[in-house]
Amino acid sequence: MAKDEMNPAFKLIGTRVLRPDGLDKVTGRARYGADFAAPGMLFGAAVRSPHAHARIKRIDATRALALDGVKAVVTRADFPTGLTGEDWNLQENCMAGDVALYDGHAVAAVAATSALLAQDAAKLIEVEYEPLPHVTDVDDAIKPDAPAIRPGAADHSVPDGMPPNVVRYFEFGHGDLDAGFAEADIVRAQTYRTEATHQGYIEPQACVGQLGADGKGEMWVTTQGQWYVRWMCAAVLGLETAQLRVTPSEIGGGFGGKTTVFIEPLSLALSRKAGGKPVKLVMSRSDVLRATGPTASASMDVKIGMKADGTMTAGRAEFRMQGGAFPGSPLNEALECAFAAYKLPAVEHIGHEVLANRPKAAAYRAPGAPMAAFAVESLVDEIARELGLDPIAVRLKNAVREGDRSSYGPRYKSIGLVETLEAAKAHANYAAPLGPNQGRGVATGYWFNHNGDTSVSMAIAEDGTAQVSVGTPDIGGSRASLGLMVAETLGIPYEHVRVNVVETGALGINEPSHGSRATFASGKAAVIATEQAIAEMCRRAAAEWGIEPEAVDWVEGAAQPAGPNAGKFPPMKIAEIAGQMSSTGGPIAGHYEGLPEGVGASFGTHVVDVEVDPETGRTTILRYLVVQDAGRAIHPAYVEGQFQGGAAQGIGWALNEAYIYGEDGRLQNAGFLDYRIPVACDLPMIDTVIVEVPNPGHPYGVRGVGETGITPPLPAVANAIAAATGARLRRLPMNPPAVLAAIKAVRGG
């Protein structure tokens, strides 16, 4: 569908209806992962390695098992052998085998009749370690003489002769790079570093697992993807997948971190060993930080050529990323997003994925894109300032438009980068006066968005209301947006639609709520399912009237003859059709199973004003503007919330957050006191502008909004600090000591 063919005369799309989960959440009625309980339930605790890298010589659980009330202890010996590939990685990460690979790696787990007893018993499990040399820094890990973490782990992509910890290599580009740089008036190259950060979801991992000797199991869990939990647990434990039923709880944040498993297989293994009793496992914050997936840390070389008028002639990016002791860092996503905003005649990307003695990285909101943006958008800003050019004008000059070749190859379909840049330029924030020690930063960001395996079922109830069953947990307002789309399509009030996130037994497989896909993919599926139900209701009306189904239209929640030639009948409302369905052919429903194609990518532009205290190096965010192309904002308040949330997390990543490892390879800041995420008093109200360049691939124009918002803040804040102080920071976090040191380096003293 072309953009100008999309009907803007919606009744519900774009309205700010009440949140379906609001009352449950503010009254405490919502049931999160740790709120589940089952009769006879035991409580689990994990024993975790205090070493960054150590051979496990002996595990003795005799003293723990002697405690009254301790029902089971599991180690890797209780898991099947012979797994390969990602199945093996998952198993190894959930429970160490011969070697503990990072501080916090689980080596055993215990189940007992109370949580306190389980924790006491865990302390009585004796583990004898032989410490091994370790490495936690990405640039150290890639050295040829670094301790080899897992020899032989490199995949097919790694050329011969690479250092031992390089497990994946990626290279792509187009054009004549040398000619591009030769054409430039100015060529600059710099190195940037970002530290690993955690998703920082408020709700820790929590689950209740039950598994019998017959191989049938149940799990209640906080997750972004119940089908992923099912197949991962089944793979790790050697179960038949369909024998495990997984029910998702309400979720207290995920941001990508809950698209995989950590403790879930342990609860099932403990349950099986304890005779099938359900076992609850809830992680502490310390365990969440030590042992669940943060994002990768990155070391990045970037080179850009630019003409004096701001035209970019060539770009080159060489990234090194560590995602812990396992493959899985977002290397390719980072590189593919690096220059995505720019129309470049020549570009080259090279990437190395490196193992280090850290926890296995998990996805984090636009995985890889924020790091890449930090490097590229910082250097674009630096060169623009050197040339005396306006940062938005430079970006507009080089901005990709529909039909342009992307830096990663394919030509763009409908995109809205230019629209976001122009909206940012026109916003009052971009003209707000700045005082002493204040500076303004601009950056753009990109995310592909995603579709994925999707199953949705919708059904009409006896009174003409509608229920929608989806497999994508609601992490950003998808129940409201799906409800709005279904109600709009049916022509009934929003309040007459209930959207339920259902368990694995209720639908075909679904990918998690990741890749900003829930409102796009489940939404498109729900609309298709609704159209099936509407077609069936038109058939029921046609049968009643004795006319052909093709002669019936669906208008504002009722079937009616398509025109005077179809016959003269009063409209038959949905409640009337639904009330008679048992006598007119039975249930009325629609469903969708497939891969909804038509994904629309999303660009955003951020503008931030900061003030830097030259005495302390402390940065205060004065104003922050997010402009992003949503395609179509189904529920604008949720869209604005996604924009603001992405900015808040990005500001934390830019200014404060970082995994800090000691010389001993242990995580030094495994708690929110020392790992400091922004709180409300750290941030101003974040301004938002929703740009709507509808995605032709979705019935209501949706692109997906969850991830793009975290990509520009890292460079936007760095660019603002550079403007305020004259000091360019190329390493995160830009905390007060780092900023102060940079100011002193520039100004002396």
Partner 1 sequence: MVEVHLWSGLKRLTDGEITVAVEAATVGEMLDALTRAHPGLAPVIEVGVSAAIDGEIVNGRHVAIPPGAEVFLLQRLKGG
Q: Which residue has the tokens 């200014």?
A: 655
DSSP letter at 399? B
Q: Which of residues 11-50 bind partner 1 (CB under 8 A)?
A: none
In 24-125, the DSSP E strands lie at 42-48, 54-60, 70-74, 99-100, 106-112
Q: Which residue has the tokens 């009948």?
A: 569
User: SS3 string of 571-620?
Assistant: CEEHHHHHHCHHHHCCCCEEEEEECCCCCCCEEEEEEEEEEECCCCCCEE
Identify which of residues 217 and 600 has a Cβ nearer to partner 1 in the complex: 600
Identify which of residues 228 and 430 has a Cβ nearer to partner 1 in the complex: 228
- Decide if residue 595 touches partner 1 (CB under 8 A): yes
DSSP letter at 468? E
DSSP letter at 161? T
- Decide if residue 318 touches partner 1 (CB under 8 A): no
- Decide if residue 223 touches partner 1 (CB under 8 A): no
Answer yes or no: are the C-beta atoms of 412 and 406 closer than 8 Å.
yes
- Decide if residue 159 touches partner 1 (CB under 8 A): yes
- Decide if residue 203 touches partner 1 (CB under 8 A): no
Identify which of residues 252 and 367 has a Cβ nearer to partner 1 in the complex: 367
Q: Which of residues 163-182 bind partner 1 (CB under 8 A)?
A: 169-173
Residues 6+ apart with CB under 8 A from 31: 249, 250
**Smallest distance from the beta carbon of 482 to partner 1, in angstroms?**
18
List 54's β-bridge partners, or say none. 100, 131
Residues 6+ apart with CB under 8 A from 444: 341, 373, 377, 395, 417, 420, 421, 603, 604, 605, 606, 712
Task: Give the amino acid at 637.
Answer: A
Among the listed residues 45, 48, 43, the one whose alpha carbon sits nearest the alpha carbon of residue 69? 43
- Decide if residue 156 touches partner 1 (CB under 8 A): yes
- Decide if residue 701 touches partner 1 (CB under 8 A): no
Q: Which residue has the tokens 């909004």?
A: 705
DSSP letter at 690? E
Q: How far, in Å, CA of 714 to CA of 195, rounded?
A: 12
**Smallest distance from the beta carbon of 697 to partner 1, in angstroms?**
7
- Decide if residue 450 touches partner 1 (CB under 8 A): yes
| Piece of the chain touching partner 1 by CB under 8 A; list 47-55, 126-134, 181-189, 449-457 | 449-457
Among 48, 71, 365, 524, binds partner 1 (CB under 8 A): 365
- Decide if residue 488 touches partner 1 (CB under 8 A): no
**Smallest distance from the beta carbon of 321 to partner 1, in angstroms?**
14
**Smallest distance from the beta carbon of 107 to partner 1, in angstroms?**
28
**Smallest distance from the beta carbon of 372 to partner 1, in angstroms?**
14
Identify which of residues 136 and 406 has a Cβ nearer to partner 1 in the complex: 406
| 732: three-class secondary structure by DSSP | coil
List 210's β-bridge partners, or say none. 218
Answer yes or no: are the C-beta atoms of 107 and 99 closer than 8 Å.
no
**Smallest distance from the beta carbon of 583 to partner 1, in angstroms?**
39
- Decide if residue 336 touches partner 1 (CB under 8 A): yes
Q: How far, in Å, CA of 355 to CA of 473, rounded?
A: 31
Identify which of residues 408 and 554 has a Cβ nearer to partner 1 in the complex: 408
| Piece of the chain touching partner 1 by CB under 8 A; list 68-76, 117-125, 376-384, 442-450 | 442-450
Q: How far, in Å, CA of 658 to CA of 197, rounded?
A: 5
Identify which of residues 75 and 449 has a Cβ nearer to partner 1 in the complex: 449
Task: Give the amino acid at 113.
Answer: T
| Piece of the chain touching partner 1 by CB under 8 A; list 48-56, 140-148, 508-516, 711-719 | 508-516
Q: How far, in Å, CA of 464 to CA of 559, rounded?
A: 13
Answer yes or no: are the C-beta atoms of 104 and 290 closer than 8 Å.
yes
Residues 6+ apart with CB under 8 A from 643: 604, 626, 628, 686, 688, 690, 705, 709
Among 515, 631, 665, 733, binds partner 1 (CB under 8 A): 515
**Smallest distance from the beta carbon of 97 to partner 1, in angstroms?**
23
| Sheet with strand 54-60: strands edge to edge | 99-100, 54-60, 126-131
- Decide if residue 333 touches partner 1 (CB under 8 A): yes
- Decide if residue 411 touches partner 1 (CB under 8 A): yes
Q: Which of residues 645-664 bind partner 1 (CB under 8 A)?
A: none
Among 69, 212, 276, 598, binds partner 1 (CB under 8 A): 598
* Token pair for 573: 């409302």
| 126: three-class secondary structure by DSSP | strand
* Token pair for 94: 């959930």
Phi, psi of 642 (to 5 degrees): -65, -40
| Piece of the chain touching partner 1 by CB under 8 A; list 155-163, 245-253, 562-570, 661-669 | 155-163
**Smallest distance from the beta carbon of 520 to partner 1, in angstroms?**
11
How many residues lie near partner 1 (CB under 8 A)? 47
Overall size of the chain counted in residues: 749
- Decide if residue 367 touches partner 1 (CB under 8 A): yes
Q: How far, in Å, CA of 656 to CA of 676, rounded?
A: 6
* Token pair for 210: 């039950």
| Piece of the chain touching partner 1 by CB under 8 A; list 265-273, 383-391, 513-521, 634-642 | 513-521
Q: How far, in Å, CA of 731 to CA of 195, rounded?
A: 8
**Smallest distance from the beta carbon of 117 to partner 1, in angstroms?**
36
**Smallest distance from the beta carbon of 296 to partner 1, in angstroms?**
12
**Smallest distance from the beta carbon of 22 to partner 1, in angstroms?**
24
**Smallest distance from the beta carbon of 223 to partner 1, in angstroms?**
14
In 375-453, the DSSP E strands lie at 438-447
- Decide if residue 592 touches partner 1 (CB under 8 A): no
Answer yes or no: are the C-beta atoms of 533 and 460 closer than 8 Å.
yes
The DSSP H or E segment spanning 26 is helix 22-27
User: SS3 string of 172-232?
Assistant: EEECCHHHHHHHCCEEEEEEEEECCCCCCCCCCCEEEEEECCCCCEEEEECCCCHHHHHHH
- Decide if residue 599 touches partner 1 (CB under 8 A): yes
Interface mask (CB under 8 A) for partner 1, residues 180-199, using x and -?
Answer: -------------------x
- Decide if residue 514 touches partner 1 (CB under 8 A): yes
Identify which of residues 365 and 496 has a Cβ nearer to partner 1 in the complex: 365
**Smallest distance from the beta carbon of 259 to partner 1, in angstroms?**
7
- Decide if residue 409 touches partner 1 (CB under 8 A): yes
Pairing mode, if any, of strands 347-354 and 99-100? unpaired
| Piece of the chain touching partner 1 by CB under 8 A; list 62-70, 140-148, 405-413, 567-575 | 405-413
Among 152, 410, 546, 748, binds partner 1 (CB under 8 A): 410
Q: Which of residues 245-284 bind partner 1 (CB under 8 A)?
A: 255-257, 259
DSSP letter at 664? T
- Decide if residue 353 touches partner 1 (CB under 8 A): no
Identify which of residues 549 and 594 has a Cβ nearer to partner 1 in the complex: 594
- Decide if residue 517 touches partner 1 (CB under 8 A): yes
Identify which of residues 357 and 481 has a Cβ nearer to partner 1 in the complex: 481
Identify which of residues 164 and 646 has a Cβ nearer to partner 1 in the complex: 646
Q: Which residue has the tokens 């031992």?
A: 164
**Smallest distance from the beta carbon of 601 to partner 1, in angstroms?**
8
**Interface residues toward partner 1, by CB under 8 A:** 155-157, 159, 169-173, 199, 255-257, 259, 330, 332-333, 336, 363-367, 408-413, 447-452, 514-517, 594-595, 597-599, 697, 706-707
